[in-house]
Structure formats: structure tokens, C-alpha cells
Amino acid sequence: MNHLERLLSLWDHLGLEAAHVAVQLPVDIAVLTQAQPDRIAGLAICEAPGINPAALRPVAARTVLIAGDRGHSTRIADTAAAALPGARRAFLADYSAQVWNDCVSDRTDAVMAALLSLPGEATCLPPNPRTGMHEGISYDIQGSGPTLVLFPLMLSAAQWDAALPFLTEHYTVIRLGGRHLSGVAVLEGRGESPTYMGMLHQMLETIAPAPGASILEVGCGCGALIRRVARRLGPDHALTGLDLNPFMLREAAALAEQDGLGGYLTFRQGNAETLPFPDASFDHAYSVTVLEECDADKALRELRRVVRPGGGVGVIVRAIDIHQSWNMDLPNPIRRKIEIPPQSIGKGGVADASLYRRFAAAGLQVLSCSPALASFAWDDSSFIRYREEAMLARLTSEEAAVWDAAKRASLAAGVLFTTNPFHCVAGRNP
């Protein structure tokens, strides 16, 4: 079942002729806006990291674009608004956020005001709370009034919780979740790439965990990687996934159960900078695309602290200092625009070659340093569509038309893929 079929089946299952929708990643809803726009009464896009205006034009007049008044997301929203006749802008005052920030918690009143202003007539459902799962999408229904479907925010810990008590006074609120939507779908889709998993497997081979070894993943998110590690290493290893985000941990536990791995994995909430474990708790530990978002030096020292002497430590981060690419025949001016990786990095984070010296400065013995490119073939996954939206946000409408033609040509030839750069290091706690 493709993404459009899944959404249409969910709308029918819930009895929605038309519903208001709020998303952070437009890719979650774009196929529905194109195929059956009448089923979206009003659309709110909140702090989007990328927008493809062409996909949203059928609902442009019913769209509100919510973003800070400065920074990357407001540039994306302003550009999209100019390309979507009738779309409105809602500004979050004195605000600029990274994709992992809790924008709804940070600017609750402004977000709620924008959601209450959605146009169009949405279906009203009977006011009876219920939860369920349909075609891999979980749902939770509260409140009364016209329906408002809340897709998950990408990496937010609090999600829509701060606004929920107020929204349920005005709407029948349907919160969605599961492996096919938003940040969970992006992480799951990324984990499907053989070359991406190849980086992780190489790191594990360098660490060389013995049978029965205990292994910690710091920043496990929805568990996309640790479930694959469990399948690769087998049930003899004690695997623990830690994450700061309670929403992601709930999804991780649910997906582990669905995949028959619930009995093999343990999930804990905690901060990478202050790991909630005694010294020398694990034989090995690793972290993948997490140290960009925290104080990397503290996190590296914590990784060393919780690993027993002689144990292995591995770290992979996104590389903002190496070009990325799409395998498309593009003019050089467009190619130069898309070669720069997203520059999102938190205070104290690491997303460049300084990872290697920082790793050694934390007292870890360096065994392997390997800058790497992971390739992602074009498919229907949220990851590849998310990456495309981020690229289109950099292009003018004329350049986007050139992009689309080049994409179609590469698709027809069966050779469309994108490569993303990473820095990888594996070592040992002396």
C-alpha cells in the first residue's frame, strides 16, 4: 500500500469527508492535496524544514504557513507563500527554531490562533474518545466539533501537547502516529538504505562485540537502528536504547513490539550529556546523528564513562563540510545550490571533521576514521521526499521546473538517487 492509499483508507476508516490538517512535514499530506484536495478543509504547516509549493497549490487558498519571524524556516514559509496564491502567513514572534525544537510549546498561543483560523468546512464526528490503529497509523481522538488531524511534529519531544487542552474545546482532535508518518517515517526510511546501514555495520565490526555483550545506543529515536542491530546480532546481546524524547521512545517501544523484538530491547529516557547509568555499565556504546544536537564533548565523555575498559565506542554524525548530491543532469548554478548539506547544528554540536580530534580528546583510542557517503534510491519513502522538499526550498520556481524535468529523466533511466555525507569514528575505551 502506498502513502496515498494509506491516507485515503484512514480518512474512510474514520469517516472523514474533509478534515482540517496540521503538519510539520508537508510530505506527510502532499499526495492527498494533489489527488483529493477536497478532503482537506484547511491546512496548517508549522515550522516546515522544506516545502514544495507545486504539491500544495490545489489547497493554497486554504493554507496557513506558521513559522518564526527569522531564520531558515521563515525563509521557507515566505518563499512558499509567494508561490501559493491565497495562502496566509502566521508569524511566531522573535522565534527561530531547529527541526528538533518544540515550537508548539515555545509559542503555544500563536500556534493555536493560527489553527483556530483555518478556513473550510470539516467533518464533525461523534464526541466519543477512542484510540486505534489502521494500516500502520495509530490514532487518538479527543474533543468535539470539526475535525482537526494533527500529524506528528518531526522531532519534537512534547509534540502538540501544550495546545491540546485548548484545541479539544474547539475541534475533534485526531492525533496520528506510527512508522509511516513524519520524523518516524524519515528515520525508518533512512534505515532502509544498504549504504547507510553499511556505515553502522562497519562501525560494529570495528568494535567487534562478543556474544552476550551489552550495547547501548545513545539517541535511539524511534528505534529504527537498534531493531536492525538486534536482527543482525541476534538475541544473545543485551541492547538498550536511550533517548531524551518521550514521544520517540513510545514509538520505539510500539514498533519493537510490532516487529517481534519487544523482549530483546530495553528503552530508557535520558540525556546524552548526562547518561543515567553508573560507570562501566555497558560493554559497548554507539551514537548515530545525535551529537549534532547536543554538547558533543560532554556526550563523548559520557560515552566513555559508561563503557567498560576495553569496550568499544562508535559515533556517526552528519557532515556539513562535505558536498551532497543528486544523480541528476542539472545546470551548475542549480547544482551548486543543492550541494550544500543542511547546516542545522545545535550549540556545542559536531557535524564536521572535528569529530575525530574531539573523540581522541575525550580519552578514547581511535581505531577507525571514515568519512562516508550514504546513497538513498528514489522511492515512496518519507525520507527521500523529505530530502527533496529541503532541496526545492532553495530553488526558484523556474529552477524547480528544471529540477522536475531532470528528476523525471533520471527516474525514467532508473538511476535517481541522492548521496548524503557523514563522519564516522570507532574506537575503544583504554
More confident residue, 107 or 101: 107
Average pLDDT over residues 353-376: 95
The pLDDT tens digits of the residues spanning 25-55 come to: 999 999 999 999 999 999 999 999 989 898 9
Average pLDDT over residues 361-375: 94
Query: Would the pLDDT of 310 be above 90?
Result: yes
User: Which residue from 46, 6, 41 is spatially nearest to 23, judged by alpha carbons?
Assistant: 46
Question: What is the reported pLDDT for 68?
Answer: 92
**DSSP per-residue codes, 218-234:** ES-TTSHHHHHHHHHH-
- pLDDT more than 70, % of the chain: 99
Question: What is the reported pLDDT for 380?
Answer: 60
**b/e code 347-377 from CB counts within 10 Å (16+ = b):** eebbbbeebbebbeebebeebeeeebbbebb
Query: Would the pLDDT of 269 be above 70?
Result: yes
Query: Would the pLDDT of 333 be above 70?
Result: yes
Half-sphere exposure of 133 (CA within 13 A, CB side): 8
User: Which residue from 291, 286, 246 is spatially nearest to 268, judged by alpha carbons?
Assistant: 246
Sign of CA dihedral 251, 253, 255, 257: negative
C-alpha cell at 290: 545525535
The pLDDT tens digits of the residues spanning 56-89 come to: 999 999 999 999 998 888 889 998 999 999 999 9
pTM for this prediction: 0.92
Give the domains, in start order, of the chain with CATH numbers: 3-177 (3.40.50), 185-428 (3.40.50.150)
Query: Would the pLDDT of 129 be above 80?
Result: no
Torsion of CA 212, 215, 221, 225, to 10 degrees: -60
Which of 229-233, 253-257, 422-426 shows the lowest per-residue confidence on average (mean pLDDT)? 229-233
Question: What is the reported pLDDT for 381?
Answer: 63
Query: Would the pLDDT of 248 be above 90?
Result: yes
**DSSP per-residue codes, 309-323:** EEEEEEEEEE-TTS-
Q: Are strands 372-377 and 365-369 parallel, antiparallel or unpaired?
A: unpaired
User: Which residue from 43, 56, 29 is spatially nearest to 119, judged by alpha carbons?
Assistant: 43
Task: Share the mean pLDDT of the chain.
Answer: 93
Query: Would the pLDDT of 260 be above 80?
Result: yes
Structure confidence at residue 343 as a pLDDT band (50, 70, 90): confident
Which of 111-115, 137-141, 229-233, 380-384 shows the lowest per-residue confidence on average (mean pLDDT)? 380-384
The pLDDT tens digits of the residues spanning 398-412 come to: 999 999 999 999 999
Contact by Cβ (8 Å): 429, 304: yes
Question: What is the reported pLDDT for 209?
Answer: 92
The pLDDT tens digits of the residues spanning 142-185 come to: 999 999 999 999 999 999 999 999 999 999 999 999 999 999 99
Average pLDDT over residues 280-288: 98
